Chain A
Amino acid sequence: MRISTSQIFLQGLRAIQEQQVKLGTVSNQLAQGSKILTPADDPAAAAAIIGLNEDISRSEQYQRNAQYASSRLGLQETAMDSAIDIMQRIRELAILGVNGTQTTDTRADIALEGRQLLDEMIALANTSDANGEFIFGGFQSQTEPMSHDGAGNFTYSGDQGQRMVLLSQNRQVAISDSGSDVFLQAPSGSSNSAFTVMWQFISDLESNSPNPDILGDVDAVMTEFNSVRSEIGGRQRAIDLQNNLNESTRIRAEQTRSTLQDLDFAEASTQLNQYLTALQAAQQSFAQIQNLSLFNVIR
């Protein structure tokens, strides 16, 4: 077995270069905190990371949607609470109104409050959000949905549309209820809406002929309002639930991504030291071997 001089030189050089390449890679990994420097380092992981990034960004979007839905529904909830309060007050006034001690004048006073409550109710039906959209207008969110001619004729000019937002890939939630569904549903057995019930109450009092039957209608409207209110509450809970799911999906995806690409710093720094030692050894042995030559001895 013989070896050529250039071979000794090249082998020594290559050993140094090899260690330098390893050092370069590991120091690059340390700098980027990632073990995948180019997708070719791990093609399957690189493709998986692309998918995970998409999952994460989508989960974040779904969480933004949920937040938006929640605040929209919150606005509706507040409106419904006020509507229920109004009907509660109407109920009290109705009981007060049928009392035999009332006179025409006192009934007119009660009717006056009733009119204010009716105006408030109409204003509620015309609630708009921060963007100026009427939340009870259905799809026609830029048209004021409820109007009253002052003579008991109420007109709803919206539609029955509901806006949906995505909470996950295959789950969507309604973030609006149309005024038609909320205010115009006739209490069963009656052809009246919340407004016509209120109008009836007012006109009965104004003509000094309160009808105790109105209480049934008022209760029916309140039942309707309460059911809308609890439905919204149900949606809010569903949003919270889905939000938690999205959050855990996102965390899981981030964990998987981290396993795929994040560097084990302890391991990498150990490697860095190993390669440094190996590089020094390679350099020293190169220098020593290059010093050896018969020509140095035979002069």
Chain B
Amino acid sequence: MASTLGIASSALLSFQRSLATTGHNIANVNTEGYTRQSVDYSTQTPQQFGAGYLGSGVKVDAIQRIYDDFLERQLRSSVTARDSSEMYYNFAVQVDDLLADQGSSLGPQLENFFSAIQDVVNDPTSIPARQLMLTEAGSLVESFQYIDNELNSLDQRINVELENQVNEINGLLSGIADLNRHIALASGSGTGPAPNDLLDKRDQLLLDLSSRIGYSTVTQDDGSINIFLGNGQAAVVGQTAATLSVEQNAFDPQQFDVGFTLSAGSTSVITDQISGGTLGEIIDFRNEVLNPARDELGRIAVSVAETFNAQHDLDLDLNGNLGSSLADFFTVTDPQTEVYSDLDASSTAAVTVAFDSSNIDKLTGDEYRLAFDGSNWTLTNLSDNSTVTGSGSTPTFNDSNLGEGLTITLSGSPVTGDEFLLRPTRSGSTDLAVGINDPSQVAAASPVRIQEAVGSSGIPTNSGTGELSFGTVTASASLPLSSSITLTYDATAKEFSYGSGPTTFSYDPATDAGNTFTVSGIQFTISGNPADGDQFVIENNSSGVGDSRNMLALAKLQTGLTMNNGTASYQDVYGQLIADVGVKTRRAETLYTTQSNLADSAQIRHDEVSGVNLDEEAANLLRFQQAYQAASQVIVVSEQIFQTLLNATGR
């Protein structure tokens, strides 16, 4: 009798547990990270009697989480990939829109500027046309600055976002360390039953962490999980969590780094070691899209200004003044503000960086690091890590040894380990300005003209068919000419002579027609058959207000291959920039789509095992209810048998 009651009550207790667990499952159907639980039973130790073993009921072995460690890890890694590509995409698409949108893009502004230049070519004496050109130049400058400003404010948002992410990660790390402690305690350092709900909580924190930063885990015997970041920085060890912090960059205080501190130890910068997660992607976005976009934009600004100025300097304005004697058309500032130093306290090293106007087509948008090893300075281009060594403590890097459109000069006494970081074109857009505001100072005319000699009444005196082109001025010309230069042809010697020397150069109409000649820095071509004694005069273009030859040369800069070592125009480089950012944005978008699908299917596979199904729980509820009722019936029956016995004997 006693054993029947015992069996029945063991069943009642067990089914109560099952009903409670089913209830718990139903209650947590919407709890994020909840893993369904089930009760494991086994038979109680049977009692032996003569004929054999008699069963003695049921007992609860464990309440288990239905959990697959492999699926949980897969879910974490796919969530990392999904959330990081989403973060990258959300930032990159803003840059992409900014660069290519018809309203904000540089493209239409460049077109308008060069259209205005062509209108001055057509009508060089028109003040309104010149004024329009200056206005369009101003709009172009504003356009550069607008785009750069927007990019700069993205940079600041990145710094804010970095702080947010670091704070969240710190919360998660300390939460995980805390749960490690609770779990170790609750499970008797891994010897007792598993504290299911605490494990769920920790898994949820790990999942949240994986969306923010890439990490790896190692499970300890006591049930705690250790977390390692990047190159093995221990972010959580047992019950101790490290803290991440936002640190100012050693070179550029405006740019934030991620610092890592393990329990009151020293702080190290781990920015470059972070990969994946929203934190990693913010840093990647800054390095791959944002900074290069600003550098490229600045490079275009510097190239436009330098090439434009070089031509404009050779021109005459409406008042007959030489462009080089006026303010530069565009103001270009040497990139001294983008020099960052990390020097020993005793060091007196200094560096000056200047754009090399005559080799500006070789300018890159790259960043450079200068490092002193005790005897020499080494310049490293950070885009491809190529190096140039300048011997001694005060070398110069220029076109002959560097060849990238810069002149970098070091001075002072450096100390081993001294470093400079250079971003020559970073501020190119913000530093750009229009240097002249008087439309008559727009220089359209060439400073010299070449023509046939004329008699006293202006009638040309030459009798041959020889012709000289109008001539272009090179930088070596000394202008204005101190006096006119008259070239006289000697048909016998087949040569021109000029000056008091006289200086001669040969011109044979049969072989030299169409060739280019240079006299005192002025280039021209000669064609045709000059007669003996024919004269040509090179003179200052005084009153030549109707001349727009140099404006024509400026107009041609629009399509001129003035960038990328003479292989690309401004628009080409800007188009490349858009395509480059577009490709990166597209890649992030595609990655996000793929990774969302992967994360979804990882979630589905995970939930297939661990998720609560209400219909299943309903069925279980019926099952355990029926079993509970049956066990109750066993007690009733055993009670009735006992009553029968009492009734029989009590008489």
Contacts and interface: CB of A to CB of B under 8 A. Distances in A.
Contacts of A156: 454, 457-459
B147 interface: no
Interface residues of A, number: 70
A6 B107 contact: no
Contacts of A61: 114-115, 118
Given A39-B100, A185-B460, A166 B552 contact: yes
Nearest to A38: B97
A268 to B, nearest CB: 20
A101 interface: no
B87 interface: no
Interface string A5-21: 11100110010000000
Contact of B96 (A5, A40, A141): A40
A172 interface: yes
Nearest to A5: B614
A172 to B, nearest CB: 7
B544 A298 contact: no
B614 A294 contact: yes
A161 B470 contact: yes
Contacts of A158: 458
A185 B574 CA distance: 50
B589 interface: yes
Interface in B576-632: 576, 578-579, 581-583, 585-586, 589, 600, 603-604, 607-608, 610-616, 618-619, 622
Contact of A163 (B97, B548, B558, B612): B548
Nearest to B451: A160
B556 to A, nearest CB: 8
A139 B576 contact: no
A294 B619 contact: yes
B11 interface: no
Contacts of B99: 39
A161 B619 CA distance: 101
Contacts of B122: 65, 68-69, 165, 175
B459 A193 contact: yes
A140 B124 CA distance: 11
B546 A44 contact: no
A146 B463 CA distance: 22
Contact of A131 (B123, B458, B548): B123
A137 interface: yes
A184 interface: yes
Contacts of B603: 7, 10
B97 A39 contact: yes
A137 B619 CA distance: 104
A156 B457 CA distance: 6
B607 A6 contact: yes
Contact of A166 (B97, B555, B576, B583): B555
A41 B542 CA distance: 56
Contacts of A58: 111, 114, 558-559
A51 B106 CA distance: 12
Contacts of B451: 159-161, 180
B92 A166 contact: no
A26 B122 CA distance: 46
Interface residues of B, number: 76
Given A156-B457, A184-B459, A298-B622, A6 B612 contact: yes
Nearest to A137: B546
A186 interface: yes
Interface string A178-195: 001000111000010100
A142 B451 CA distance: 19
A249 interface: no
Given A1-B608, A2-B613, A294-B614, A46 B449 contact: no
B482 to A, nearest CB: 19
Contacts of B125: 131, 133, 141-142
A157 interface: yes
A220 to B, nearest CB: 14
Nearest to A154: B457
A245 to B, nearest CB: 16
A234 interface: no
Contacts of B114: 58, 61
Nearest to A181: B460
Most buried by A among B459, B574, B600: B459
A139 B571 contact: no
A57 interface: yes
Contact of A180 (B126, B460, B552, B610): B460
Interface of B: 29-30, 36, 92-93, 96-97, 99-100, 105, 107-108, 110-111, 114-115, 118-119, 121-126, 445, 449, 451-452, 454, 457-460, 470, 541-549, 552, 555-556, 558-559, 571-572, 574-576, 578-579, 581-583, 585-586, 589, 600, 603-604, 607-608, 610-616, 618-619, 622
5 contacts: A41-B586, A53-B108, A57-B108, A134-B546, A139-B546
What 5 A-B pairs are tightest by C-beta distance, nearest first? A4-B611, A141-B546, A43-B582, A156-B458, A139-B544
